[in-house]
Amino acid sequence: MADQKQLVTFQLGEELYGINIMDVKEIVRVQGIRAIPNAPVYVEGIFNLRSEIIPIINLHKRFHLKKILNSEEDELLSGFIILDIDGMKLGVIIDRVSRVVTIEKEDVQPPPQMLTGIGAEYIQGVVRQEKGYLIILDIRDLFNPKELQKISELRR
């Protein structure tokens, strides 16, 4: 098992991304997000999940990605992935949840220097697939400590 990783995969724009399943708390359907004044531009707002206030991050805005037009079926698969980053819960908006996959660590290659949209510093690696690549995100590197502090303060 040490040579394998389980990833929750999802579509964001044109690309397929994966996040370590151990960092994912749950996946929820898009619901009412309350906007917050003076929040960073990529913070969509806050969301009440069973009496817990969760900041919602828009990775499209964070990384200047184009949002794809979803079909009705895709709309049913869009939502938020609730992450736990060192005890802090936050949600990221996804275009479409895909599935949980198991990958072999030896199949993970270092990220190419120029991947569309998201910089290599946020990427743990890529796995070649039949249709392109699966990009593995390192959620701990998506936000620097100052940003996480700012996001954390939005919950108050």
pLDDT tens track for 12-35 = 888 899 999 999 999 998 778 999
Give SS3 for 64: coil
Angstrom distance (rounded) from CA 102 to CA 119: 24
Sequence-ordered strand ranges (E) for 39-149: 43-49, 52-57, 79-85, 88-94, 96-104, 123-129, 132-137
pLDDT of residue 40: 87
pTM: 0.84
The single-letter code of the amino acid at 102 is: T
pLDDT tens track for 41-88 = 899 999 999 999 999 999 888 877 777 666 666 666 788 999 998 888
CA dihedral 122, 12, 92, 87 (to 10 degrees): -40
| Local structure of residue 118 (DSSP, 8 states) | S
